[in-house]
């Protein structure tokens, strides 16, 4: 645990900052920005991950006010390109994570989509 605390501390995290997510097939987390470093671990099932650089935040049309200023107004599965034209050209990286695979996600934007029933930790 001491090594875990040291590594977490160097990333600005508490060793107890863990979030478990699970959901049925097709569960989608909207486009959003996480302010912390994440080590995303896929435990069961598969998850499609699509990442945008923080430099692209203008193209993702974040909400201007309220509790959702870290979330995009764009629906990743059905983007309205007339309303959000810059989204069309926003570069991204994507992959599918399977059981036992982890991915380091720096502070930035990271929507996630469950494929079958799955369980993940970050």
Residue ranges of domains in the chain? 18-121
Provide mean pLDDT across the span 92-115: 79
pLDDT, tens digit, for every residue of 71-92? 899 988 899 999 999 999 999 8
Retrieve residue 111's tokens: 């929507």
Say which CATH class 18-121 falls into: mainly beta
pLDDT, tens digit, for every residue of 40-54? 888 888 888 888 888
Q: Indicate the pTM of the whole model.
A: 0.70
Q: In 3-state terms, the chain is what percent helix, strand and coil (to 5)?
A: 15, 35, 50
- Residue 61: pLDDT band (50, 70, 90) is very high
């Amino acid at each position: 645990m001491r090594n875990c605390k040291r590594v977490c501390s160097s990333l600005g995290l508490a060793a107890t900052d863990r979030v478990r997510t699970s959901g049925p097939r097709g569960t989608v987390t909207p486009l959003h920005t996480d302010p912390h470093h994440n080590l995303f671990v896929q435990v069961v099932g598969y998850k499609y991950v699509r990442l945008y650089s923080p430099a692209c935040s203008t193209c993702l049309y974040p909400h201007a006010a309220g509790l959702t200023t870290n979330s995009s107004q764009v629906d990743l599965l059905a983007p309205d390109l007339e309303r959000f034209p810059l989204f069309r050209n926003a570069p991204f990286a994507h992959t599918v994570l399977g059981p036992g695979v982890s991915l380091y996600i720096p502070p930035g934007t990271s929507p996630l989509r469950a494929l079958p029933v799955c369980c993940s930790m970050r």
